[in-house]
């Protein structure tokens, strides 16, 4: 009930030493006899004391909290397996360093800049992981202006001089299109993610480029908000074209939209992969739960989070800016892709 805040002073008194000695003991610094050290830990244990991180932070040492602000409508976040998996990867590294994650959902990049700045100014965080980069993202300048240690999750062309962790979306898109073309598809469509995001633009450009190179006349692209509903709408729009124009293969920017697409195809009486092939992205467990199972560009999202966190610790320990690519998503063919029917 009472709790009566136990402080370092109480521990010092109980162990019969000074505050300084307790501090020394708890930071495993030299200058104390084994006996005293033991006595101090004993006292701390008895009183149930742990050093206040707040005070410790204020006293000038580092902050062991990492920030992460995510800017997506709440409705979508719930559904996207991506972030939770990413976070779990980040967490697994933070835990090793007994660090915590400060999370915030924001509505705009501008708001995020504000949050990050106040976190940093208020000494709430030691550094941050920035995600969902846009072209000319204001966070690049903000991070540099503040001198705040960050790792930017995004392609180096988007993240300015910041240390970045990224996947090669362009190559993955190209591989996806090549694969579908190799199966014999000519009318390939892509249902992309949010148009404002930098990596969507990169995928769009790569898709165009691949379509041109492979001389796919019927290539088409749409952008969405990543939601299943938008994916369904986009698919419906693509598949309702006259049979001669209708795409025979569709690539999606996440797996929720691919699942939605699968259901639209069924609803329209089209068989997958007979009438249309579908290819998902990110490849969560979901892709193996549908019927037919979804072929996907598969991706170790957890590992992506791990790498981001590791890199942030690198930055925190003084490493200069760098570019850290993580493995390119690999094609994982399952039941939803096949050669087009004649």
Interatomic CA distance for residues 282 and 275, integer angstroms: 24
Q: Is 263 in the site for DNA (CB under 7 A)?
A: no
Q: Are 164 and 154 in contact (CB under 8 A)?
A: yes
**Which CB, 118 or 341, lies closer to DNA?**
118
Instruction: Choose the binding region for DNA from 2-10, 70-78, 97-105, 184-192 (rule: CB under 7 A).
Output: 2-10
129 exposed, middle or buried (CB, 10 Å; 0-12, 13-18, 19+)? buried
**Over 296-326, what HEC string results?**
EEECCHHHHHHHHHHHHHHHHCCCCCCEEEC
Instruction: Fill in the per-residue mask, 110 to 139: x = in contact with its own copies (CB under 8 A), - = not in contact.
Output: -------xxx-xxxx---------------
Please pick, from the candidates 45, 46, 58, 96, the single residue that binds DNA as defined by CB under 7 A. Answer: 58
Q: Are 286 and 255 in contact (CB under 8 A)?
A: yes
Binding residues among 103-142 for DNA as defined by CB under 7 A: 123
Binding residues among 38-97 for its own copies as defined by CB under 8 A: 48-58, 63, 65, 74-75, 77-85, 87-89, 91-92, 95
Please pick, from the candidates 288, 325, 330, 341, the single residue that binds its own copies as defined by CB under 8 A. Answer: 288
Residues with Cβ within 8 Å of residue 272, at least 6 apart in sequence:
262, 265, 266, 278, 292, 336
Q: Are 249 and 279 in contact (CB under 8 A)?
A: yes
Instruction: Fill in the per-residue mask, 222 to 241: x = in contact with its own copies (CB under 8 A), - = not in contact.
Output: -----xxx--x---------
**Which CB, 53 or 106, lies closer to DNA?**
53
Strands 330-332 and 295-298: antiparallel
Residue 320 touches which member of its own copies, DNA, none, C-beta under 5-8 Å by kind: none
Q: Is 7 in the site for DNA (CB under 7 A)?
A: yes
Q: Is 27 in the site for DNA (CB under 7 A)?
A: yes
Structure tokens at 29: 């610094």
Q: Is 61 in the site for DNA (CB under 7 A)?
A: yes
Q: Is 10 in the site for its own copies (CB under 8 A)?
A: no
Q: Are 265 and 275 in contact (CB under 8 A)?
A: yes
Residues with Cβ within 8 Å of residue 136, at least 6 apart in sequence:
none
Q: Is 317 in the site for its own copies (CB under 8 A)?
A: no
Interface ranges with DNA (CB under 7 A): 5-9, 16-24, 26-27, 29-33, 35-37, 49, 51-52, 54-56, 58-61, 123
């Amino acid at each position: 009930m009472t709790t009566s805040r136990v402080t370092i002073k109480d521990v010092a008194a109980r162990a019969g030493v000074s505050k300084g000695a307790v501090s020394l003991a708890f930071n495993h610094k030299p200058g104390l006899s084994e006996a005293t050290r033991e006595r101090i830990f004993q006292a701390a244990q008895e009183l149930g004391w742990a050093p206040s991180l707040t005070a410790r932070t204020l006293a000038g040492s580092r902050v062991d909290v990492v920030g992460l602000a995510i800017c997506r409508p709440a409705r979508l976040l719930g559904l996207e397996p991506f972030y939770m998996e990413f976070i779990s990867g980040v967490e697994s590294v933070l835990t090793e360093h007994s660090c915590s994650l400060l999370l915030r959902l924001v509505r705009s990049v501008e708001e995020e800049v504000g949050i990050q700045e106040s976190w940093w100014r208020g000494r709430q965080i030691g550094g941050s992981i920035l995600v969902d980069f846009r072209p000319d993202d204001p966070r690049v300048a903000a991070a540099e202006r503040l001198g705040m240690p960050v790792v930017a999750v995004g392609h180096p062309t988007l993240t300015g001089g910041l240390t970045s962790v990224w996947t090669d979306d362009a190559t993955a898109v190209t591989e996806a299109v090549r694969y579908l073309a190799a199966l014999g598809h000519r009318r390939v469509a892509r249902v992309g993610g949010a148009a404002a995001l930098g990596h969507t633009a990169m995928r769009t450009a790569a898709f165009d480029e691949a379509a041109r190179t492979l001389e796919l006349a019927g290539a088409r692209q749409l952008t969405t908000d990543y939601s299943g509903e938008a994916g369904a709408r986009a698919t419906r729009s693509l598949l309702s074209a006259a049979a001669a124009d209708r795409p025979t293969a569709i690539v999606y920017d996440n797996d929720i939209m691919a699942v939605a697409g699968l259901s639209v195809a069924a609803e329209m009486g089209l068989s997958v992969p007979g009438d249309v092939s579908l290819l998902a992205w990110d490849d969560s467990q979901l892709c193996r739960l549908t019927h037919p199972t979804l072929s996907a560009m598969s991706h170790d999202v957890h590992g992506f989070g791990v790498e981001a966190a590791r890199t942030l610790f690198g930055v925190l320990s003084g490493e200069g800016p760098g570019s850290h690519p993580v493995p390119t998503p690999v094609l994982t063919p399952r039941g939803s892709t096949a050669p087009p029917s004649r």
